[in-house]
Amino acid sequence: MRERKAEPTYDLDQDWTEEIRKNLLHWYDQNKRDLPWRESRDPYRVWVSEIMLQQTRVDTVIPYYQRFMENFPTLIDLAEADEDEVLKYWEGLGYYSRARNLHAAVKKVATVYGGKVPEDLETISQLKGVGTYTAGAVLSIAYNQPEPAVDGNVMRVFSRWFAMKDDVAKPATRRKMEAYALQVMCRERPGDFNQGLMELGALICHPLSPVCDSCPVNSLCQARQQGIQHELPVKKKAKPPVPYNVIFGYIKQDGHVLVQRRPQGGLLAGMWSLPTVEEQKKGNDALIPDLSKNLAEAGFHVEWGRVLGETDHIFSHRRWKITILEGEALSVSQPLPEEYTWVTEGSWDSLAFPKAYHKALRIADSRFGSRFQGSLF
């Protein structure tokens, strides 16, 4: 067992605790949604769903989860897959490190743990991409262990139940919430209790307009009693995205387009792209020599042509103002550097591209009138 750090304990009123468990579980039994990952308690299936659901809406995840499970029905299937295939099934979901970490972790489980997802907190927490929340979620849902699984929903619910004004953006606040969660936890039904908390946050205890009239525990909620449910949770505002000028090179030769795998770390790590340069201050024109230089260092000499179009793409932390520039490869590196490859124009769905590049490829396709038909998008 992992040693929990010495967190303060909160001696909650016993009657309050029992009533909240009873009301929450009863409400969950009556109102829980039919979701694909609730059809079994297979630890692998629970695990995949929890990774996909990180910072991602349920409605967005459902089709991805179904496609993923049809193609990788068991942990061994996923462990034996190529990383490019895994990324292809993650294409468009975002936070792509989740997919690479999950794949690496599943391979470790297959080889080191005999294909069985670890059942103890210490071991499962060492797997890539499995943090405090995911460890608690898998252990409670799949293995019925009384571990807290405190996500954004649970923090919102708790901040209201206990009228807490701690900033939920701070890691220390979540640790405090986990201490509360351990106190309130239903030891008989840990998985349902954790899911009930999250379901309440998702269906009733909304961020902006909580439906307190429909809440099964409204009489037990301190924020409601004080009429401050709309003021909670307290959360520090995020910084706005930083604008960047970006150029995508759409470089052709003999009906093929040059594409490049992005580096293994950082933004869109490991995904395919068009050759790209980005800069905060330079204008787009000033960026062209940088792109030429990058390509020359890889052995490509390019003559630039028309601007094919422009588009914007907003990440959580930066905003790309993209110019798509047509180019013709005059001379080509032999052999082709590892991170580059040629794709037949229009056949983009053989590789996994993030959304920003899908936008650009769609613009280029509309220019050239090719009949691009992506299989997923």
Partner DNA sequence: TATACGTGGGG
Partner DNA sequence: TCCCCAAGTAT
**Is 321 an interacting residue with respect to DNA (CB under 7 A)?**
no
Verify whether residue 345 is a known catalytic residue: no
**Stretch of 65-73, 200-208, 244-252, 281-289 lying at the interface with DNA (CB under 7 A):** 200-208
Q: How far is CA 17 from the centre of its chain?
A: 33
State which residue, 314 or 330, has the beta carbon closest to DNA: 314
**Is 222 an interacting residue with respect to DNA (CB under 7 A)?**
no
**Is 140 an interacting residue with respect to DNA (CB under 7 A)?**
no
Residues in Cβ contact with 181 at an 8 Å cutoff, skipping those fewer than 6 apart = 148, 149, 150, 154, 158, 194, 197
**Stretch of 17-25, 274-282, 286-294, 350-358 lying at the interface with DNA (CB under 7 A):** 350-358
Catalytic residue among 50, 147, 178, 345: 50
- Of the candidates 179, 234, 173, 180, which has an alpha carbon nearest to the alpha carbon of residue 207? 234
CB of 107 to DNA, least distance (A): 14
**Is 159 an interacting residue with respect to DNA (CB under 7 A)?**
no
Tell me how far apart the alpha carbons of residues 199 and 205 are, in angstroms, rounded to a whole number: 9
State which residue, 41 or 170, has the beta carbon closest to DNA: 170
**Stretch of 115-123, 170-178, 283-291, 299-307 lying at the interface with DNA (CB under 7 A):** 170-178
CB of 368 to DNA, least distance (A): 23
**Is 64 an interacting residue with respect to DNA (CB under 7 A)?**
no
**Stretch of 125-133, 250-258, 276-284, 303-311 lying at the interface with DNA (CB under 7 A):** 125-133
Please return the burial class of 276, using the count of CB atoms within 10 Å of its CB with bins 0-12, 13-18 and 19+: buried
**Is 123 an interacting residue with respect to DNA (CB under 7 A)?**
no
**Is 362 an interacting residue with respect to DNA (CB under 7 A)?**
no
State which residue, 308 or 356, has the beta carbon closest to DNA: 356
* The only residue of 235, 256, 301, 321 in contact with DNA, by rule CB under 7 A: 235
**Is 333 an interacting residue with respect to DNA (CB under 7 A)?**
no
**Is 92 an interacting residue with respect to DNA (CB under 7 A)?**
yes
**Is 238 an interacting residue with respect to DNA (CB under 7 A)?**
yes
Tell me how far apart the alpha carbons of residues 193 and 141 are, in angstroms, rounded to a whole number: 9
**Is 179 an interacting residue with respect to DNA (CB under 7 A)?**
no
**Is 208 an interacting residue with respect to DNA (CB under 7 A)?**
yes
Give me the residues that bind DNA (CB under 7 A), please. 35, 37, 49-50, 53-60, 92-97, 101, 128-135, 137, 151-153, 156, 169-172, 195, 198-199, 201-202, 206-208, 235, 237-240, 266-269, 313-318, 354-356
The residues annotated with a catalytic role in the active site are 50
